[in-house]
Amino acid sequence: MHWPAPAEDANRLPPTAPQPGLAWVASERRSHPDLPPPPNEPALTTWQNPEPHLQPSPPARSQPARHAPGADVDAPTAPERQGPPPSPSPGLAIRQAPEDMPQPRPVEPPHSGAGTAGPVHGPPGVGTAAHATPPPAPNAPTCPAPEGTPRSSPTTATPPGRTPTQSAHHTPDDRGVATPAPRPEHHAGEGGGEGEAAPEATPGSPRAALPADSGRADAGGDGAVLTTAGTEVTSQAQPYGSGGDDDYGQQAAVPRQKEAVPGERPGRTVLAEAERVSYADPLDDPDPAVAAEAAAVENLLRCWVREAGVPRPDGPTGTPLRIPLLSSGTALLVAVQLWSPSGWHRFAAPRLEGAPADAPALDAVTVAALIAREGSGATAAGGGSADLVGRVADSVRRTAEFIADRRERPTAPDPVAGDRFLTAEQSLLLGHPLQPDPKSREGLSEAEVRRYSPELHGSFPLHWFAIAPSALATDSAWTERGRPVSAARLLGRLAPGIPLPDGFTPLPLHPWQARELLQRPAVAALLDSGLLHDLGPFGDPWYPTSSIRTVHRPGAPAMLKLSLGLRITNSRRENLRKELHRGVEVHRLLRTGLAEQWQAAHPGFDIVRDPAWVAVDAPDGAPVPGLDALLRHNPFRSDDDAVCVAALTSPRPWPGRTTLRSRLSEIIRSLAEATGHTTSAVAAEWFLRYLDHVVLPVLAFDALAGIALEAHQQNTLVLLDPAGWPIGGRYRDNQGYYFRASHRAELERRLPGIGSASDTFVSDAVTDERFTYYLGINNVLGLVGAFGSQQLADERVLLAAFRRFLGKAAHLGPVPARLLDSPTLRCKANLLTRLGGLDELVGPVDTQSVYVTIANPLHA
């Protein structure tokens, strides 16, 4: 079915394609021999790069923005233009919700003056400086906020979503890496922001300088840095919460980007010698089975090293990592290719200590069996060893199949190829790097794997049932033009022409789930009594997203989150009734004015809403497990570049390439080539924008509402502009909300009765632990690990950047200080959770998973 095109949407970003402008401290490493070595210089890194290097050339200089003297940078004055007018390129559009959900005012891409392509900031502590933003191009289209969205008051704009910073707030630690200075005190009762606002950048001032990729702050105490041209620029600090672009204050419209002057395109990527670390990555082996084995072995070793607290090898170059196996009376010896501070280590194939030199390396199943025997005594419930081994074997087999298929068909078929969101959802081939069996599909036949797997571009029609009125359980907060729309009506639109008995409500099910349910006595009884009718497969195909059970159809107004009794990672994925209530409840809560209050400071971020559901009750009123469907609003158009962070960072095959590479790597290297600067410099700026546009709004939501989001990498979507820079984000998951017990009274005032059906209030202690793990460790440190393990940046530089960010965000709840100040952190142990036979969706929230204590890489 073709859905009618939506009306012209005011909530659409202008057609610009921003490119960063980079000033450069060319002599930084020569001037500072005490700098720490880049991440690839330590002797543990030994791989060889199969791809040729780009030839270095001098980086292009940044030109200062041109303004009329004293002009307001937001005023529509025409800057000088050289060369032809810019060619419009598609912008990212977020469609306004059909149920009148308030959508955030989109953040426009950055503007740059003639001869520049926008600012790129080095990481905190590496010489960033504030700068002025030039005015929009003449006659540039405006981007009005949709109805119901708070409009901004005119203020001086900062760079794309960034708060001006200065290196004076950093001091080098004993390794030469900049660390945050003591955080400024913040005082309550100062309006929307906290702390003191910095002076506005002076219009016409030079752009900020980006230092070399060493991660060292060489700025003086006043925050001065030197550009290639020798121009000294200074900056004033502005902490988060002070009324800047990413504060609780009103938003200024970000000026539009202007095309660079023809002939001034930066040169090709300058790759520092330290970056040129090459390797024969086992993931690139032409045999998919070998690549899958390597990925599985590395996942198992990463999990065990983290969960068992195995320390980094201490010894000369080439010293292998020794992993004791006390239960087996031996040890594993593993060559370390890359040791990651955040845990995304790279390992060669392990061998048994004392084995003959010509003995083959251990495969994933053997490693799983040895580790399972070792770890079974560490869990409350044993007996998970054989289960783990079987699931690892299945995951290896499926991963090999996924790699082989994607190498043969690197381009998605239609209509997947025409939908950027769906393409990204079906690109997660290897799974999470700290899951022991991320791609297990136990319970599916070979034909079902091909049909239902997003990695294989699967698609299928849904299996439909009809629910009698007396057995129907439902709720809906979906509205259109102010009028409520029932879940039954919405589902009818998704299956036009379905043969429903009079008065019955359609219920979509995953085909695998429908087959399983027909074997359950409770469902058979409902069918026999006439309370449930089996309508069979019906309608156009739907496409599985990265979670497998949530399905998407291009152009449809809603996605469907279906129950699926398969074990996927740590759980059987059947919806719980309290989770269905929770999705609608959060939508109603956001519509009390909370969303507008939050998005006044963070207009580029929102929660993907789950405003309606249907389910089945037994004659005694009890919920019937597995017979339900949740309707999730689909806010994305086909050209919206919204990608979950897990898919962004996961290596995969690409057309015309023999190696596996993540989309993150493709973006960073493309931006580096376009700007003429090192990948590590561009990676640092990308990371900072991610913190501002994705992480900061999540922290701010907790501070504002007392609600922590389970924002791990698969639940977090980053919105990218046409060049690949982060400009916003979305959170999705009706399960992953933690209502702080300390905020119960305030939330009750907003929405009376909140939490009574959804069981969402959690103690602050548990909330802090979970929020720290999901946002801090899984999401941000996982991203840092991806940058490091994929040879894009020095993790220590990014950790220093994250420390400074957390220092500025210290007023946004307890988690920033916890991440900064705690020498250890509590971390979910996926391998031990699996060995313990735990389902993380069942039981009390504080005992659903195994948590271990790990060293905090931010505490240095």
- Give me the residue spans of the domains in the chain: 282-408
727-758: per-residue pLDDT in tens?
999 999 999 999 999 999 999 999 999 999 99
User: What pLDDT score does 504 carry?
Assistant: 98
How would residue 442 be classed by pLDDT, with cut points 50, 70 and 90?
A: confident
Is the preceding peptide bond at 255 cis, omega within 30 degrees of 0? no
94-151: per-residue pLDDT in tens?
333 333 333 333 333 333 333 333 344 443 333 333 333 333 333 333 333 333 333 3
DSSP sequence for 305-327? HHHHTPPPP-SSTTPPEEEEEGG
- Alpha-carbon distance 61 to 227, whole Å? 8
| CA 755 remoteness from chain centre | 27
Phi/psi of residue 457, each to 5°?
A: 55, 40
Residue 255 has pLDDT above 50, yes or no: no
- Alpha-carbon distance 14 to 18, whole Å? 11
- Alpha-carbon distance 345 to 361, whole Å? 18
β-strand 209-210 against 225-226: which pairing, if any?
unpaired
Residue 594 amino acid letter: L
User: What pLDDT score does 815 carry?
Assistant: 98
44-74: per-residue pLDDT in tens?
333 333 232 322 333 333 333 333 323 332 3
Would you call 533 helix, strand, or coil by DSSP? strand
Residue 302 has pLDDT above 60, yes or no: yes
User: What pLDDT score does 250 carry?
Assistant: 30
Q: Which residue has the higher pLDDT, 615 or 249?
A: 615
Q: Taking every pair of C-alpha atoms in the chain, what is the biggest distance, in angstroms?
A: 84
- Alpha-carbon distance 412 to 356, whole Å? 46
- Comparing CA positions, the residue from 636, 643, 663, 641 lying closest to residue 652 is 663
173-194: per-residue pLDDT in tens?
333 333 333 333 333 333 333 3
704-731: per-residue pLDDT in tens?
999 999 999 999 999 999 999 999 999 9
> Where does residue 329 fall: left (phi above 0), alpha (psi -120 to 50 degrees), or beta otherwise?
left
133 and 74 Cβ atoms separated by less than 8 Å: no
Burial of 527 (0-12, 13-18, 19+ CB in 10 A): middle
557-606: per-residue pLDDT in tens?
999 999 999 887 666 789 999 999 999 999 999 999 999 999 999 999 99
In sequence order, the 6+-apart residues with CB closer than 8 A to the CB of 521 are none
How would residue 657 be classed by pLDDT, with cut points 50, 70 and 90?
A: confident
Q: What is the mean pLDDT of residues 322-349?
A: 95
- Comparing CA positions, the residue from 609, 620, 608, 607 lying closest to residue 584 is 609
How would residue 205 be classed by pLDDT, with cut points 50, 70 and 90?
A: very low
**Positive or negative torsion for Cα 804, 806, 807, 812:** positive
Structure tokens at 548: 């497998």
- Alpha-carbon distance 339 to 298, whole Å? 12
Phi/psi of residue 235, each to 5°?
A: -145, 165
Cα dist. 97→251, 337, 636 in Å?
Answer: 22, 47, 10
- Alpha-carbon distance 441 to 573, whole Å? 12
Residue 168 has pLDDT above 50, yes or no: no
- Alpha-carbon distance 275 to 787, whole Å? 12
User: What pLDDT score does 398 carry?
Assistant: 96
Pick from 124-138, 354-368, 467-481, 806-820: least confident? 124-138
| End-to-end Cα spacing for the chain | 57
- Alpha-carbon distance 258 to 46, whole Å? 43
How would residue 630 be classed by pLDDT, with cut points 50, 70 and 90?
A: very high
Q: What is the mean pLDDT of residues 794-817?
A: 98
- Alpha-carbon distance 236 to 169, whole Å? 10
262-297: per-residue pLDDT in tens?
233 333 333 333 333 455 899 999 999 999 999 999
User: What pLDDT score does 852 carry?
Assistant: 96
How would residue 519 be classed by pLDDT, with cut points 50, 70 and 90?
A: very high
Cα dist. 56→31, 267, 281, 678 in Å?
Answer: 20, 8, 24, 10
User: What pLDDT score does 22 carry?
Assistant: 35
How would residue 157 be classed by pLDDT, with cut points 50, 70 and 90?
A: very low
- Alpha-carbon distance 812 to 699, whole Å? 6
DSSP sequence for 131-193? ---PPPPTTPPP-PPPTTSPPPPP----STTPPP--GGGEEE-TTS-EEEPPPPP--SSSTTS
Mean pLDDT across the chain, nearest whole number? Answer: 74
User: What pLDDT score does 839 carry?
Assistant: 64
How would residue 82 be classed by pLDDT, with cut points 50, 70 and 90?
A: very low
User: What pLDDT score does 36 carry?
Assistant: 39
- Comparing CA positions, the residue from 834, 299, 828, 848 lying closest to residue 567 is 834
Q: What is the mean pLDDT of residues 808-824?
A: 97
758-786: per-residue pLDDT in tens?
999 999 999 999 999 999 999 999 999 99
Residue 400: in which H helix or E strand, if any?
helix 385-408
